[in-house]
Each structure stands twice: as structure tokens, then as C-alpha cells.
Structure 1
Amino acid sequence: MTTVDQAVFIGGRAGVGKTSVAMALHSLLAERRVRHCVIEGDNLDLAYPEPWEHELAARNLQAMWANYRELGYDRLIYTNTVSVLEMDSLAAAMGTNPVVRGILLTATDRSALERLSLRERGAELERHAARSNAMARILADQAPANVLAVDTDHKDIEQVAGEILLHLGW
């Protein structure tokens, strides 16, 4: 039996909980013995000087997915701030014509600042908060209509992951 690959691209501003939600989703799927992998997109091209003009993130995603696919994985959870804006190119990088779903995690500026303050300090906190606020507006304006927005305010990570799991039907 041939399976159809599936990918969920989780995007959202800094401080919204993308990585935490992906890890909670991973735990839920593992409890259900659902075969899947998680890739943190920010790590695919984290280098200095920035290698963005070389499409290193897409190349690394292609290589990693090929390795997972060879081992029989057919579901991908991928996190990156702008992943919901780049779903077509990310799916193309996978090379297996996956069924794609986009999830945009949202939070108020205040909630994002509170979460960012747990990991950033001083000028770095100010810089991250400003970028997060600007990115929230861009994502809200540019996310495709088929992307599901999931509010993370006043919810714990497991609740958010559960909402996503229901949407995915995995």
C-alpha cells in the first residue's frame, strides 16, 4: 500500500510557542504510535554569514526528509516563523508531493512579550519583541486563506497541540 506524505507547517511570530507546540504534538502522536518526524526550520540555515541566498534551508529540508522517508516516515511537523508563507516551496523541497496543512499560531503582543521575556533580556528582548510584533502583522496580512489560525492566548501548550491534532486527523 502506498501512503501519501503529509506535512503540517506551523508558523507564527516569535514568542507564540511554535517549538513548544510541536514538541507537545510530537508527544501526543508518539502516545498514539503515529509515525512522524519534527523538523525545526530555524536550524536548517542558522549560520553566519546568513546563507539565505543559497536556499540552504530548502536544501537541508530536502536531504533530511529524504532520510526520514527512506526509513518509512510519511508525516512531517515543520516549524518556522514564516513557514505558512512558504508552504509551496517547502512542499516542493520535500519532493514527494505531500498533502500540506498550514497552522498559524497567534498571540497578542503582550502574551508574546511575556513569553519572550523568559528567554531574552535587555536590548535583545526589545529587538525580538519589535520583530515579533512586526512579523505578527505580516503573517496576519499574508497568510493564505487555507491556513488555520490557532490562538495560543490563555491556553496551555497541550490544548493548542490537541486542537491541531483534531484538525489534522492524524
Structure 2
Amino acid sequence: MQRAEVLLIGGRSGAGKSSVGYEVSALLRAASVGHAYIEGDVLDHIHPAPAGDPDRSGITGRNLKALWANYSELGCRRLIYTNTAAVLGGEQWLFHGALGPGIRYVHVLLTASDATVEARLRGRERGSELAEQLRRSALAARRLDEHAAPGTVRVATDGRSVTEVAREVVAATGW
């Protein structure tokens, strides 16, 4: 059986993870490269947190394993996964449990300035969460910069089109 390959796209809120993830998928589809795309944020979107799983990592792992079982049964070997913390080295246990051993990882950290992030978040946040999103985004940027897995490719998104960034991300995969 061919080993799984995982493109992990991480970054602070407003860095462009979702937009770039969808564009990477579109570029791969146009090149007839088989893959699946999972937005990590939807795997643990449950409230309240399950008993005994306050950080929701257990439900995230279970949902990832279930989705990957379906994708791999159809012959899929490549996964694009977006999530803020995806590039942190400690997050790989999640994929070992869901995808099995021998995974090839490509870590990409999308970066953006505070001004760019604020403009993007102001454009999409319509409710009461803007101030909290900005605060968490700034904290995440520092954490990701300091603790990204070795070999992480950093890709700046400021002033660049989504397609331009996605092309650089695809190039990092070798797919």
C-alpha cells in the first residue's frame, strides 16, 4: 500500500489558510492530482466539549480517522489539512492515529502582518468575535513562529493573490 502524504497548512487567523487550501485543491484538481481536503476546524466544532476531552483533541482524532477511512477506501493517498496549529510538531500524533505509520509530511506556515490580518478579519467577522479573534491571532502568530516543526516552509501572504500563494504551497509538496 502506498504511504499517505499530508500537506499541513497552518497559520494565524486571517493568514489565508482556508482560501489557500481551497485554491491548492483547485490547482491539484486541474493537474489531475488525486487528493482530499479537510478543514481541521470543522472536526472539533462541538459545544460543550465532550466529557474528558476539554481540548477536543479526541473528537478531532475520531473524526479525522473516520473521514480518512472513507477517502483511503476510494484510493486517496494525499491529504490537504488546514488548521491554525497544524504545523506544530506535537500535532502529528493526530495523523499517525488516523492515517497510520510512514506518513510523509509537508508543513507550510502561512504568515501575514498584523495590519493584513486585521483587514481580513474585519472583512469576515460580523458578530461579537472580532476583538477576540484579533487577540488570539496575535498569540497564535508568536506561538507558531517559535514552535513550528523543523523544516516548515514559511509563505508570506501579504499583498499576494491566493493563487500565487497556492502555487508556492503546491511547489513545496512536489505533487
TM category (shorter chain) comes to over 0.9
- Answering whether residue 48 of structure 2 is matched by residue 49 of structure 1, we say yes
- Could you give the per-residue CA deviations for residues 36-70 of structure 1, whole angstroms, max 9, x where no partner exists? 00000100010110234461001110111011000
- Could you give the per-residue CA deviations for residues 78-118 of structure 1, whole angstroms, max 9, x where no partner exists? 01110111442132122332211111110011100110011
- Answering whether residue 94 of structure 2 is matched by residue 95 of structure 1, we say no
Following TM superposition, by how much is the alpha carbon of 1:5 offset from its aligned partner in structure 2, in angstroms?
Answer: 1.2
- Could you give the per-residue CA deviations for residues 17-47 of structure 1, whole angstroms, max 9, x where no partner exists? 1010000001000001111000001000101
Report SS of the residue matched to 2:129.
Answer: helix
Using structure 2 for the length normalisation, give the TM-score: 0.91
- Structure 2 counterparts to residues 1-170 of structure 1, below 5 A: 2-51=1-50, 52-53=53-54, 55-85=58-88, 86-97=90-101, 98-121=103-126, 123-170=128-175
CA contact (8 A) 1:87 1:102 kept: no
Instruction: Supply the AA of the counterpart residue of 1:59.
Output: R
Report SS of the residue matched to 2:87.
Answer: helix
Task: Return closer, same or farther for 1:67/1:122 CA change in 2, 3 Å cut-off.
Answer: closer
- Structure 1 stretches of 4+ moved >3 Å: 51-54
Using structure 1 for the length normalisation, give the TM-score: 0.94
Instruction: Supply the AA of the counterpart residue of 1:140.
Output: D
**Aligned pairs, how many?**
169
CA contact (8 A) 1:87 1:100 kept: no
CA contact (8 A) 1:4 1:74 kept: yes
Identical-residue share of aligned pairs (%): 41
Instruction: Supply the AA of the counterpart residue of 1:76.
Output: L
Question: For the residues of structure 1 that align with 2:45 and 2:116, how far apart are their CA atoms?
Answer: 26
CA RMSD of aligned residues (A): 1.4
Stretches of structure 2 that go unaligned for 5 or more consecutive residues are none
Stretches of structure 1 that go unaligned for 5 or more consecutive residues are none
Report SS of the residue matched to 1:117.
Answer: helix
